[in-house]
Structure 1
Amino acid sequence: MKIFKGMKRIIFLLLLTLTITCFACSSIIFSQEKASSKQLTFGMTVRTATPPYARAMILGAEEKAKEVGVKIIVVDSNDDVLKQLEQIDNFIAMGVDGFIFGGTIDTAAVIPGIKKLNEHNIPIMALDNCPEGGRVELWISFDIVQSSKKAAEAFVKVLEDKHGKIPEGVVIEITGALGDAFTNECYEGFHAIIDKYSQLTIVQGEGKWNNIDSFERTSDLLMRYGDEVVGIYIHTPDIMGPGVVSAVEQAGYDPKKFAMAGICMGPEGVDLIKKGKISAIVGQPALASGELAVQYLYDLCHGKDIPKIGDTVVKEGALWSPAIILENPRCEGAFMRLQGPLVPLEASPDDPRLWENKLK
Structure 2
Amino acid sequence: MNKNLIAAGFVSLLSTTAMAETIGVSMALFDDNFLTVLRNGMIEQAEALDGVDVQVEDAQNDVAKQLDQINNFIASGVDAIIVNPVDTSATQAMTDAAAAAGLPLIYVNRQPVNVDTLPDNQAFVASNEIESGTLAAFEGCKLLRAAGKAGGARIYVMMGELSNQAAVQRTKDFHDVIAMDMCNFIEIIDEQTANWSRDEAQDLMTNWLSAAENFDAVFANNDEMAIGAIQAMKAAGIDMADVIVTGVDATQDAMLSMAQGDLDVTVFQDAAGQGAGALDAALKLAAGEDVDQKVYIPFQLVNPANLAGFMAKN
Normalized against structure 2, the TM-score is what? Answer: 0.83
Q: Which residue of 2 aligns with 1:341?
A: 300
Deviation at 1:210, TM superposition (A): 2.0
Q: Deviations over 1:230-272 (max 9, x none)?
A: 22111212x2122201221123211121121122232221221
The answer (yes or no) to whether the contact 1:176–1:235 under 8 Å persists in 2 is yes
The reply to whether residue 272 of structure 1 matches residue 257 of structure 2 is yes
Partner Cα distance (1:248, 1:198) in 2: 25
Pick one of 103, 122, 128 that aligns with 1:122.
Answer: 103
One-letter amino acid of the counterpart of residue 119, structure 1? A
1:198-277 superposed matches below 5 A: 198-206=184-192, 207-226=194-213, 228-237=214-223, 239-277=224-262
CA contact (8 A) 1:234 1:241 kept: yes
Letter in 1 for 2:190: Q
Could you list the per-position Cα deviations for residues 151-185 of structure 1 after superposition, in whole angstroms to 9, with x for gaps in the alignment? 1111112112222x624231122223456533321
Deviation, 1:110, is 4.2
Matched, 1:169 2:153: yes
The aligned runs of 1:34-73 (5 Å cut-off) are 36=17, 38-69=19-50, 70-73=52-55
1-side partners of 2:69 and 2:124: how far apart? 20
Q: 1:180 to 1:127 in 2, by over 3 A?
A: closer
Residue 99 of structure 1 is aligned with which of 81, 95, 119?
81
- What's the offset of the Cα at 1:63? 1.1
Question: 1:276, CA displacement in angstroms?
Answer: 1.1
The 1:267/1:103 distance shift into structure 2, 3 A limit, reads: farther
1:148 offset after TM fit, Å?
0.4
Instruction: Name the residue aligned to 2:56.
Output: 74
The answer to whether the 8 A contact 2:45-2:276 is kept is: yes
Q: 1:122 to 1:144 in 2, by over 3 A?
A: same
Among 188, 191, 197, the residue aligned to 2:175 = 191
1:9-30 deviation line (CA, Å, top 9, x unaligned): xxxxxxxxxxxxxxxxxxxxxx
Q: Return the letter of the residue paired with 1:126.
A: Y
Q: Structure 1 residues 180, 49: closer, same or farther in 2, change over 3 A?
A: closer
Contact 1:140–1:337 (CA<8 Å) still a contact in 2? yes
The farther-off stretch of 146-155 and 338-347 is: 338-347
Q: How many residues align?
A: 291
Distance, in Å, in 1 between the alignment partners of 2:230 and 2:100 is 48
**2:4 alignment counterpart:** none
Determine the structure 2 residue equivalent to 1:31: none
In percent, how many aligned pairs have the same letter?
21
Tell me the SS of whatever aligns to 1:209: coil
The DSSP-based 3-state class of the residue aligned with 2:111 is: coil
d(CA) in 2 for partners of 1:236, 1:65: 28
SS in 1 for 2:310: coil
- Residue 290 of structure 1: CA displacement? 0.8
Cα deviation, 1:299-336, whole Å, max 9, x if unaligned, reads 33334443x3xxxxxxxxxxxxxxxxxxxxxxxxx222
Q: TM-score, normalised by structure 1?
A: 0.73
Give the letter aligned to residue 94 of structure 1.
S
Measured on the aligned residues, the alpha-carbon RMSD in Å equals 2.4
Bigger Rg, which one = 1
Name the CA distance, whole Å, in 2 between partners of 1:345 and 1:304: 42
Instruction: Check whether the contact 2:37–2:271 (CA below 8 A) recurs between aligned residues.
Output: yes
Unaligned runs of 5+ in 1: 1-34, 309-333
CA gap 1:95/1:59 in 2 versus in 1, 3 angstroms: same
Asked whether the equivalents of residues 205 and 217 of structure 1 are also in contact (C-alpha less than 8 Å), the reply is: no
Which whole-Å CA distance do the structure 2 matches of 1:144 and 1:83 have between them?
26
Task: Say whether residues 1:154 and 2:113 are aligned partners.
Answer: no
CA contact (8 A) 1:178 1:184 kept: yes
CA contact (8 A) 2:156 2:218 kept: yes
**Counterparts in 2 of 1:140 and 1:274: CA distance versus 1, 3 Å:** same
Structure 2: 5+ residue stretches without partners:
1-15
Q: Give the superposition deviation at 1:224.
A: 3.4
Q: How far apart are the structure 1 equivalents of 2:204 and 2:128?
A: 27
